[in-house]
């Protein structure tokens, strides 16, 4: 896989996740306004990830070239990631989804292989910043990493607040522990 293909894949995933969370806001928002705002925030944060990936693409093209081979993540199961997103989208698009099912989908998304791709690209963007001698851009990456923790914190807090499923709440906590 090339660096360009990896950026394309990551952008597609981030866009699909943003749309999925926006759909959950519409579907589940009448349940409670706080739930609608939570899913809207999750969607907005995924859009921000999409924009960061686009920013990183530009920087990496200048620094490494877009056709550079990527070997560090060659074993990422791309088809498995897209198949899982397809299944999540079908479930959400059916309109027949409970709040706990929505949380389970979000936990699966945020803890899946797609997150590995995003974090890997952040490390590549960090290297490009260092090599391009533009250290002022490093603050963006540091902020993104802080935002990722906040993104997961928000998911854990919302799951705790709105779910009655103890196993789901434990999954959310394990997700956060895995990322810290």
Q: What DSSP character marks residue 135? A: G
Number of folded domains in the chain?
A: 1
CB atoms under 10 Å from CB of 143, counted, come to 11
Q: Find the radius of gyration of the CA atoms of the chain.
A: 17
pLDDT of residue 74: 65
For residue 166, what are the domain limits? 3-179
CB atoms under 10 Å from CB of 91, counted, come to 16
Q: Which of 24, 151, 41 is nearest to 98 (CA)?
A: 24
**Does the model's pTM come out above 0.75?**
yes
Q: Is the predicted pLDDT of residue 66 greater than 90, yes or no?
A: no
CATH code of the domain in which 58 resides: 1.20.1260
Report pLDDT digits (tens) over 132-153.
887 788 887 777 777 777 888 8
3-state SS, residue 69: strand
Q: Which of 134, 116, 122 is nearest to 179 (CA)?
A: 116
Q: Which of 14-23, 81-90, 91-100, 115-124 has the lowest mean pLDDT?
A: 115-124
């Amino acid at each position: 896989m090339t660096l360009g293909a990896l950026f394309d894949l990551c952008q597609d995933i981030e866009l699909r996740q943003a749309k999925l969370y926006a759909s959950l806001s519409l579907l589940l928002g009448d349940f409670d306004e706080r739930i609608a705002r939570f899913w809207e925030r999750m969607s907005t944060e995924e859009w921000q990830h999409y924009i960061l990936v686009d920013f990183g693409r530009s920087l990496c093209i200048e620094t490494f070239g877009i056709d550079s081979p990527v070997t560090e993540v060659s074993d990422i199961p791309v088809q498995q990631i897209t198949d899982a997103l397809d299944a999540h989208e079908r479930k959400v698009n059916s309109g027949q989804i409970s709040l706990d099912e929505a949380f389970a989908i979000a936990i699966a998304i945020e803890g899946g292989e797609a997150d590995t791709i995003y974090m890997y690209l952040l490390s590549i963007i960090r290297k490009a910043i260092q090599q391009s001698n533009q250290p002022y851009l490093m603050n963006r990456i540091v902020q993104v990493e802080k935002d990722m923790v906040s993104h997961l914190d928000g998911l854990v807090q919302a799951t705790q607040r709105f779910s009655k499923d103890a196993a789901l709440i434990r999954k959310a906590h394990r997700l956060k522990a895995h990322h810290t």
